[in-house]
Structure 1
Amino acid sequence: MASLTFCAWVNPAFWSHAPVDHTWVTSYDSRATPYSDIGDVIAAGQINWYCWGDFHVDGNPPDPIAVQSGSGTLAQCLVEGNAESNGNPAAQGTIFTYGVDGVCHQLANQVLYATGSASQAPATVKNARGYGASSFLYGTYGLQHAAWLAKIQGCAAQATPLSGLPMKLGETRLGEPPMPELRDDFADRARTVLGDDPERLSALLALRGNVQSYLSTAIPGFTPPTAEMLNARNQHLLDQAALLLEPAQFQALFGIEPGERIDLVDPTMAGEPRSGDAPTS
């Protein structure tokens, strides 16, 4: 598959109590060509990556939050496009369980990983609302770290040219691609905001490491956790971060005020009904 221009879009996620954006990725500019449905996208030879959401004709606001060229072959291997994430494992990347392994932000980033090259880092949806919270909890690419690295290594062999991928310099085994370089948007942002407060920075990153280790542990039981449970758990962990920071620091990192409620997990994507008549994600 030839090189593509990837566009990342946002739409307000109206189920949340605080401003949060749903994110998705396309191979086309919906401002120029607003395809009415997925059938039109496929007929035009284009790709829409749902990213644990519904099909959207265009973004709101209308401009993309990221535009960058990359490998269509790699992207389609990492995350299958033109297919709903729910019920389609190939379209889930390694966000296997929505709200547990990550949310739409992390899956969009997995698609956008294909925009990385030797000269530029992969694009991410770091400008989406709610991304500070989601990247604190789930990281840039989700919590299934080993599965994600294995997915990259397997797909890299199919992408051409291999040398176009973002790779770390270093020793590799014969015949194997080098280990990919992965972005950590939250850590980068934390270093910018807390650069003059190294003690708080160290404490926050240590807390974040503990948070992700905790979230990576399977929740016991016979049924999956509900969106309400996941959102309450996430809120508690964000509140712990607020205890470490000055209010202005917290707001700069997370985009919300300390104690403000933010729901990252959409009940409908978790297979639950959503109350009210709010639009879908």
Structure 2
Amino acid sequence: MADEVLRGYAYSTEYGTGDHAFVRCETNGRYFDCFGGHSKLPQHQASEPGAGSYGAADCYRLPRPNCPDSAGIRYAVTGVCHQAANRFLYSARVMLDVKLVRGLGASSLVFGTWGLFHNEWLRDIYVPCTKKAHDAARVFASAGKSGDSELPSSSSELFDRLDAIYRGTATQPPPRQPEEAILNETAERMKHFIPNVPPGSIRDLHGRYLAQIATVRQDADAGRMTFEERDDRINDLARGMQQDFARALGPDAYEKLTGMSGTEQIDIIDRFESGMCSS
């Protein structure tokens, strides 16, 4: 498969939420807008560059009405722009940096690195698109027009540990429930960013919040609340989670884990983008 350089970017929003994230293919100058856009200034780099497959990512743009480049994410249900961006970066084996994307740490506590139901996305979308891109690249290269980049893939230890949760091992199968996967991701992030804090110290607290958020999603899908009510309730729960995590971990450990100040709570769902995508 031909390698192109993929990199995450971000810019601040006007709606009281975290940064909007998107992905640029540095090799051909094309973008993955991740529900929003890519033209607002100023903007900044939000990940390391990685050598991945533009063709595979292009295959799973999967735009929704009024919402470009979803990567299969249902906005506010299985993720937000941060998770969509990480899916577009997946073949490059890099991901957005919590220190560079305001609010990424908070959205990851709710939706994980790549969005809910990541196992199904890998199986049903990523693998078929990767195979399709690989076959196309092989034909392209045989014509003497290979677009391979000299930049090597930049896999990180944390990426590998998070990825392993979904791939499973001989002794540890992948989680069956998305909430369990998010809890396991947070444990791995804690081992990486705050190794002196036992990962189990906030697992029960985290699990209670995730269960409440899952109930909200189910109620909205069943028509028992409006999308606007869903978004407000998830944002309220996310803010409460941020506050309780900062209190439980202490401000220094919390900032290392999430990239956010312990005194700051933000919305993770952009009401404007959610309204566009839900209409």
Q: TM-score, normalised by structure 1?
A: 0.68
Contact 2:239 2:265 in 1 (8 A): yes
Query: What corresponds to 1:111 in structure 2?
Result: 88
The answer for unaligned runs of 5 or more in structure 2 is 138-152, 156-162, 171-180
User: Closer, same or farther in 2 for the Cα pair 1:12/1:88, shift >3 Å?
Assistant: closer
Q: Could you tell me how far 1:148 is from its partner in structure 2?
A: 1.7
Inter-partner Cα distance in structure 1 for 2:114 and 2:79: 8
Per the alignment, residue 73 of structure 2 pairs with 95
Q: Is the 8 A contact 1:11 1:60 kept in 2?
A: yes
1:38-70 Cα distance to aligned partner (Å, 9 max, x none): xxxxxxx64211112124166523x45331111
Is 1:270 aligned to residue 274 of structure 2?
yes
Q: Which residue of 1 aligns with 2:102?
A: 129
Residue 268 of structure 1 aligns to a residue whose secondary structure is helix
Task: Give the equivalent residue in structure 2 for 1:138.
Answer: 111
- Larger displacement relative to structure 2 (219-228 or 99-108): 219-228
SS at match of 2:113: coil
Return closer, same or farther for 1:212/1:77 CA change in 2, 3 Å cut-off.
farther
Distance 2:61 2:234 in 1: 24
- Partner of 2:251 in structure 1? 247
Identity of aligned residues (%): 25
Which residue of the partner structure matches residue 33 of structure 1? none
Q: In the alignment, does 2:223 pair up with 1:224?
A: no
Relative to structure 1, the CA distance from residue 90 to residue 57 in structure 2 (aligned partners, 3 Å threshold; closer, same or farther) is closer
Residues 267, 16 of structure 1: alpha-carbon distance in 2 compared, 3 angstrom cutoff: same
Q: CA deviation at 1:213?
A: 4.8
Contact between 1:51 and 1:108, CA under 8 Å: does it hold in 2?
yes
Secondary structure in 2 aligned to 1:269? helix
CA contact (8 A) 1:94 1:144 kept: no
The structure in which a higher percent of residues are helix is 2
Q: How does 1:1-281 map to 2 (within 5 A)?
A: 2-16=2-16, 20-28=18-26, 46-56=29-39, 60-61=43-44, 63=45, 65-80=47-62, 85-87=63-65, 91-96=69-74, 98-115=75-92, 122-126=93-97, 127-149=100-122, 150-160=124-134, 186-198=186-198, 201-217=199-215, 218-220=217-219, 221=224, 223-226=226-229, 227-271=231-275
Residues 209 and 237, structure 2, Cα contact 8 Å, conserved in 1: no
Alpha carbons of structure 1 residues 94 and 190: separation in structure 2 relative to 1, 3 Å: same
1:3 and 1:70 in contact (8 A); partners too: yes
For 1:93 and 1:207, the matched residues in 2 are separated by 30
RMSD: 3.5
